[in-house]
Structure 1
Amino acid sequence: MHDATIAERGEDAESQPAWGAVVSMSLGVFGLVGAEFLPASLLTPIAGELGVTEGMAGQAVTATAAVALITSLSITAVTRKLNRRLVLLGFSLLLILSNLLVAIAPNLPLLLAGRILLGIALGGFWTLSAATIMRLVPERYVPRALSILFSGVSAATIFAAPMGSYLGAVAGWRIVFVAAAGLGVLAFAVQFATLPDLPSRGQSRFGTLIEVLSRRTVGLAMAAILLVFVGHFAFFTYIRPFLETVTGVGVAGISAILLAFGIANLLGNYVGAFLLERSMRLTLAIMPLTMGTLALSLSTLGGNVAADAAMVALWGLAFGAVPVAWSTWITRAVPDEAESAGGLFVAAINFAIATGAAAGGLIFDVSGVETVFLTSGVVLVIATAMILVRVETRAVPKAV
């Protein structure tokens, strides 16, 4: 039997979905994603107190993303014999330890050490999340459960940066990370109380990733995922300069528009679950098509505050459904190796964050932000075509 042969669900999950455990995982996601992006709102005071440049302090985010990428590709093999309940609880403990280590860090190396621990927890938790959801609820409830899980991401996007910035100004940046550790304690406590026993299910090794990629259309699906997230992050990374220079709004206007984006993103999680119950292929395709159309429209027609704000919010709604849809695809297309496929998914996202931001930066410096959005739109339309033509939405057989 392969690792994570999740299709063979237990009778408990079939008869009574473990919604409490699903909510506990959403709390974990909220804590992990919130901690990941906290340095962005606290960069100046962190750099000032540690006596480093803001650019050096910004490596706290880079270190977390890089370690999360490596962890996502290795965690399934490294923990193949361990009970998944214990592994997930271990990641929550790492979240707590990471934030406490950052809170007391007297210098940059120790701060980066704490952020490395966070990267392990972040990459590992995401890799196992879809496979774990499959074991907590019956198949018909998987999209709904995933929408609850990803609502933790949207909530962190909405609250982490502004709350971190406010609390940092009132009490200091170290207190912000102590509070983040407290949130980790809450997540750990709820997970300890609600996560059922989840014995390991196999002997997955590093070669399993290659085996999964060799399956018909899985590699193409991962390429489509990469294109969708590259298109998104090229857009989202440079949304502020677009709103400043093209739309012509100030800081207050930018904050309001980004808040609307975050709220719409949260709603998109549930819109995705609703659409997935009707058509997976339609959901996978219509979201990048919507985002691509919006990017192309903004690049050519941007400049009206109301219209631009509405399009950015609609982008948030469409993107909110994307991770829910692709995580559901993993549970249906690769049910026997959902953990390994989840690792590839997380790796693709982290690579897309770096690629989208870097490529967008080069284009921005050469041709301006409108060209960044134009390129983003083209990439998303290509991803849509790939999904419609080549991506399978049923179980993908192993390569012979």
Structure 2
Amino acid sequence: MPMPLPGPQVDRIVFLLAWAAFASSAALRLVDPMLPALAADFHTTVGGAAIVVTATGLAYGLLQLLFGPLGDHYGKLRVITIACLASTLGAVACAVSPSLDLLALARALNGATTAALIPLSLAWIGDAVSMEHRQATLARFMTGQIIGLVSGHAIGGFFAEHLGWRWGFVFLAGIYLVVGLLLLAALRGARVATPAPARLPGRYRLVLGQAHGRFVLALIFVEAIATFGIMTFIPAYLHQRFGVSLLHAGLVVATVGLGGLGYTLFAARWVRVLGPRRLARSGGVLLGVAFATLTFGDAWAWGVLACVLLGLGFYQLHNTLQTLASQMAPQARGTALSLFAFCFFLGQAAGAALGAPVVDHFGAQWLFLAAALMLPLTGFVLASHIKARHRALKLAARGGAG
């Protein structure tokens, strides 16, 4: 049961958690516009340098499965604080890495520790804030995550272009350190009672043992490959094809976040007007149009339109999947959402790994074209599944009533 803390204390901690979410989100996208600079410094191709993206996504996704139980057992805020301070060390290791392999290892460490910040923050807010105020508090927290997504590319492009890519990691380390120390100070008197840890294997079976759960997890994996995995190559594509600076390319891709805000700020209206099925189809179509625009656009300005549409379409499709995931196994919702996050970030890493040889041998446009075809199909498959599931639930309800 939640044990609400005094309002001002909760507000201060949520503010710090929002900054932690900012750092976590920015860290995931920071390297994308740095890839040409990394390729030049370490004498490899852009595709070869993308190993640092793959390493981060794999570590981030895998550790989702661990941090939920750790937070339940040792206290969510304590684990968040330790992870934030550990992320400082990972970011510093990135800044001083003398080789691409060591940079990939340091990025994996950074991805592993920062994986705790957003999911455990959401869980801590659920423990600390009463249901009456929880939705508004979560909205305030999510602001940090969205701004991190919006600015991560731009920050990475700025440092790569002007001060050197290593200073981007020093910047992140500073945020992690300050937030971690402030959270450490806030731990006194902020402990919230949490349920005793349950046995995990049975909970995982609840999710994976049903066809609906497996379907949602498979679809989020495909979505991640075709969106965030392929997004990795957009800044380098804009830089190499149109000759724009890395900062310029990062700013263009940052408009993905603006498209996302266009959904989240009006989410209630979007859901009321379109409903889940049409949101899934609309999101898939918008994503297809976005990647087609990147493929055939003959000037960098088309990238702005493409990225705004990409953000809007992604959040329409992803939010629909997220809602389904929250109901995959109500008796094991935390486990279900951990698996959901794991599949998403595993898909992101797989997208970067699969896309790298395509970019090196054929060009990024072919990768964008594949996404333009795959994502509308994904949206329509999801809409069809929602319709079939609603029909099955109605039939089951009628059968139970009879």
**Per the shorter chain, which TM-score range?**
0.7 to 0.9
Q: Deviations over 1:126-182 (max 9, x none)?
A: 443544443355557666555544443432333334334544666555544333222
Q: Secondary structure at the match of 1:12?
A: coil
User: Once the 2 structures are TM-superposed, how far is the Cα of residue 203 of structure 1 from its aligned partner?
Assistant: 1.3
Alpha-carbon distance between aligned partners in 2 of 1:181 and 1:328, rounded to the nearest angstrom: 33
Equivalence for 1:186: 178
CA drift of 1:68 comes to: 1.9
TM superposition shift of 1:96: 1.7
Aligned positions of 1:164-313 closer than 5 A: 164-167=156-159, 173-189=165-181, 191-192=183-184, 193=186, 197-215=192-210, 217-233=212-228, 235-240=230-235, 249-251=242-244, 254=249, 257-272=252-267, 275-276=270-271, 281-282=276-277, 285-286=280-281, 288-295=283-290, 298=293, 302-303=297-298, 309-313=304-308
Deviations 1:322-379 (A, max 9, x none): 5555445444554442321222122211222133334445666787655534432332
TM-score by length of 1: 0.74
Question: 8 Å contact 1:264–1:317 — kept in the other structure?
Answer: yes
Q: C-alpha distance in 2, partners of 1:176/1:388?
A: 41
Change (3 A) 1:125 1:276: farther
Q: CA deviation at 1:315?
A: 1.9
Secondary structure of 2:74's counterpart equals coil
Unaligned runs of 5+ in 1: 1-8
1:85 aligns with 2:77: yes
Using CA pairs under 8 Å that are at least 6 residues apart, name the structure with larger relative contact order, 1 or 2.
Answer: 1
User: Shift in Å at residue 183 of structure 1?
Assistant: 0.5
Report percent identity of matched pairs.
Answer: 20
Deviation sequence 1:14-44 (CA, Å, 0-9, x none): x999555444332112112323444455567
1:64-86 superposed Cα distances (whole Å, 9 cap, x missing partner): 22222321233334555221221
Q: Which of the residues 346, 352, 355 maps onto 2:350?
A: 355
**Following superposition of structure 1 onto structure 2, how do residues 1-400 of structure 1 map, counting pairs within 5 Å?**
9-10=1-2, 12=4, 18=10, 20-41=12-33, 52-54=42-44, 59-77=51-69, 80-104=72-96, 111=103, 114-137=106-129, 147-167=139-159, 173-189=165-181, 191-192=183-184, 193=186, 197-215=192-210, 217-233=212-228, 235-240=230-235, 249-251=242-244, 254=249, 257-272=252-267, 275-276=270-271, 281-282=276-277, 285-286=280-281, 288-295=283-290, 298=293, 302-303=297-298, 309-321=304-316, 323-360=318-355, 371-391=366-386
Shift of 1:321: 5.0
> TM-score, normalised on structure 2?
0.74
Secondary structure of 1:183's counterpart equals helix
Amino acid at match of 2:83: F
Seen in structure 2, the aligned counterparts of structure 1 residues 272 and 25 have a Cα distance that, compared at 3 Å, is: farther
Moved more, 207-216 or 34-43: 34-43
Question: Which SS does the other structure have where 1:251 is aligned?
Answer: coil
The Cα of 1:251 is off from its aligned counterpart by 0.9
Letter in 2 for 1:91: A
Q: How far has the Cα of 1:249 moved from its partner? A: 4.2
The alignment partner of 2:265 has SS state of helix
Range with bigger deviation, 102-111 or 58-67 = 102-111
Cα distance in structure 2, aligned partners of 1:308 and 1:43: 18
